[in-house]
A and B are shown apart, each in its own frame.
Chain A
């Protein structure tokens, strides 16, 4: 007899339990109940988000591939597969292993599709470093990423790091992986073909991570909870061997389908592979390699031990596949076979311990969640600029912003990551987007992750649109055509209508912006319940975007290159300061509205910049984001330590507050630099696309000067800018 507290402790509601009784037509066994609890959790089943996720476009200007666990695009004869996934809750509990296994999990989603992983990016968010626990989380997460990524041999080439008090109690770790494959060599996460074998490969199964997805990822943190046993432990060395063995196995042509045993382990793999292949599966648990004694069937089905996969192998070809895994000293054990009864049958020593229709596990009840605009927004969105005192010394403000944790130089972090292994990284971390060449072609891919969660908090719909627009802008600045998106949607408790309203609006914002740019969302992930007694996170729909550079030699970086070059601003500055880093850092205010966004203007600016870069007219390109024009210009001057160059900006003809001009975060602006003789050619391109164009200054000297009309607002030597920007993170961490 199953007691109420049992199914409730597994995360199932009374109604869901009644539903299960109806499906099974008998009282569930422990194993069956465990299987439903994980498959019907938000983490696996997308029970609360699914309805809205349907809005996201699945097609775009590049041909898309949508798989079970990842997606991608086709470029000539290549498939570029990528996905981003959250590992927030585990990282909050145990930062090193949480982040490490997040990286491991996303890599497996890529190579199980048959693609060789070639790059990782991480979007990370923490509470302020002034709190000791946040510092512990930050250094622990960095340590986990370097521990796993470096060893497994996939370069970590980019990402972002933000700090905001809303992430105290709930850090965000969103890991993205990109892989490439020959077009015909991809595999799906499906099992089909009666009598084909089901093979278990990789590490053996232990009790680690039991209930990770249903319990840890699908509930908010409560006071004083001890959740460490639900975090998995990563083994990057085994994963490296798995990558090589799996790609070798797929290359034989004998692999029908393959899936990572990530969240919900064996349960997820058996039910989802069977369901995707419209098949059934008959599994014998005694054949599962294990590393602990006396494991119960339900424990085996729930374990989230890492570095394991399930493969559907063509009947008669088992030995060939086994040989490959044994060569790499990995387990490979036949644990069952494909059936055509559409049932997932789990046996222990022959005795059936669970038998469930695959589709009923993978088609959980979908909830239509109520949503409501939060009341507090009306007040927060009001911002009277004339109530804000103008600073006396703009130099001081600029230096303070350059040292702000979300803006400051992140070299201290990415030097701990191997960002060059694979010898594809053409533009190293620290520019607008990372660029990776595609060996054997003249092309390259650019990749970025973006989301300003302050914008999303104050205006979820527009904030999410800006995340898409900014990601595309970053890619354009590197010389790439924005191609496709993976999204990682991090929100609070969806059962709270205000949180769900944020979610719904963000999804709509992403969908509309992606449709406007004609780019598809090929993969993604939802992470709800990011709240704790300390805080609820700002809505954070992280956008991972990749773009295509048609000629790798035209790849562009952000830093000024040449004395005497002319500086151009595409787009224009508006008199706005809402939601800015400036208000937050200088006035401790999170107020106003997200910056205005006109998608047509955005597109005009991007098309102009891209065409100018592709024609070889541009020497540097950088977008204006947090900290506005002044911070962007400073970064152009100092971000290449070995070749810092000053600039004078003396043609800003705006009638507006000086602080809004310098630090306002108006969207759709790109700073270009070019040699004198290219200026007119770029002006013509801007005219053609109807993009605002203005020569605002020129490069040279050892000082950054910014004038508004005749008034000198900024006068700062490069060394001073560099010191503030470069040293602040290390000082905060190492003291």
Chain B
């Protein structure tokens, strides 16, 4: 089993993801340079957070044209496991690998803080270590995390159980008060219909060690490993 972490110009959580896979999960991992197209031998591709191309245009809008994205689309089509975190999620939306768009945070500020999210669907390769309804304490750090999709799209997400994480209170209450960025329906993470591509705004790699304040995000990666090893 091998993980790959994409390095786009401006990625800045690539080394953090690499560290978690290599030193916390102790699994093989390599970087994928954005000008390369080789994803052979990989079982899971991580699109990390950061500011690809500076986010000078709409977030993810340039990154989706990187040569590596074509390979990742092909990899996903064949059922490969892809997880996009923060900027990675934004890129997956721009690339059409996940439905919907990102708007600016409702507060019009970058926001970095711990939030709570509720696991809405544990029947995925990314969440099999969680219980449905389990509440995770996990950081967000973004300027454009205000997820939006039209009514038909939202209905489809709901009907197919594609909404994986939603922002909530420490006790699991879901309301505007506990929505850090204004995301529609408090959506923090979704999967595609096939269930092999996950996008999430919160950072599981920043909450994979007790030392950093919360180990809750660790089980996203652990779930992937579990699924890859036992499918």
Interface residues of chain A, those whose CB is within 8 Å of chain B, are: 146, 150-153, 235-238, 240-241, 327-329, 414-423, 425-426, 428, 437, 439, 552-553, 642
Contacts and interface: CB of A to CB of B under 8 A. Distances in A.
Nearest to B111: A415
A329 B53 CA distance: 11
A416 B206 contact: no
A240 B56 contact: no
B132 interface: no
Interface string B191-212: 0000000000001011001011
A554 to B, nearest CB: 12
Interface residues of B, number: 33
B16 interface: yes
A421 B54 contact: no
A420 B206 contact: yes
B10 A417 contact: no
Given A420-B141, A423-B19, A425-B212, A241 B112 contact: no
22 contacts: A151-B51, A235-B54, A236-B51, A236-B54, A241-B9, A241-B10, A415-B112, A416-B112, A418-B112, A418-B141, A420-B141, A420-B203, A420-B206, A420-B212, A421-B206, A423-B16, A423-B19, A423-B20, A423-B209, A426-B213, A428-B213, A439-B23
A552 B213 CA distance: 13
B224 interface: no
Contact of A237 (B54, B203, B205): B54
B51 A150 contact: yes
A70 B205 CA distance: 32
B10 A151 contact: yes
B202 to A, nearest CB: 11
A439 B19 contact: yes
A612 B23 CA distance: 32
Nearest to A237: B54
Return the 4 tightest CB-CB contacts between A and B, nearest first.
A153-B12, A237-B54, A151-B51, A423-B16
Interface string B140-166: 010100000000000000000000000
Nearest to A424: B212
Contact of B51 (A237, A417, A428): A237
A656 to B, nearest CB: 41
Contacts of A150: 51, 110, 112, 141, 143
Given A150-B51, A420-B141, 13 more contacts: A146-B110, A151-B51, A152-B12, A153-B51, A237-B56, A240-B9, A418-B141, A419-B112, A422-B15, A423-B20, A426-B213, A428-B213, A437-B211
B16 A422 contact: yes
Interface in B20-51: 20, 23, 35, 49-51
A327 B23 CA distance: 28
B13 interface: yes
Contacts of B20: 423
A150 B9 CA distance: 14
B113 interface: yes
B13 A421 contact: yes
A314 B211 CA distance: 43
B55 interface: yes
A420 B51 contact: no
Nearest to A236: B54
B109 to A, nearest CB: 5
B139 interface: yes
B contacts with A: majority SS: mixed
Nearest to B54: A237
Contacts of B113: 415
B143 to A, nearest CB: 8
B170 interface: yes
A607 to B, nearest CB: 27
A241 B11 CA distance: 9
Contact of A420 (B15, B53, B139, B143): B139
Contacts of A235: 54
Nearest to B14: A153
Nearest to A414: B112
A423 B211 CA distance: 10
Contacts of A415: 109, 111-113
Contacts of B141: 150, 418, 420-421
Nearest to B17: A423
Interface centre among B9, B111, B203 (most CB of A within 10 A): B9
Given A419-B112, A420-B112, A426-B211, A642 B170 contact: yes
B109 A416 contact: yes
Interface string B115-158: 00000000000000000000000010101000000000000000
Contacts of B205: 423
Contact of A240 (B10, B19, B110): B10
B170 A552 contact: no
B112 A423 contact: no
Nearest to A330: B9
Nearest to B50: A153
A421 B211 contact: no
Nearest to A153: B12
Nearest to B210: A553
Interface centre among B12, B141, B170 (most CB of A within 10 A): B12
Contacts of A422: 15-16
B218 to A, nearest CB: 12
Nearest to B12: A153
A152 B20 CA distance: 21
Contacts of B23: 439
Contacts of B211: 426, 437, 552-553
Contacts of A553: 211
B228 to A, nearest CB: 23
A240 B170 contact: no
A262 B35 CA distance: 31
A417 to B, nearest CB: 6
A439 B203 CA distance: 19
Contacts of B16: 421-423
Interface centre among B13, B20, B112, B205 (most CB of A within 10 A): B112
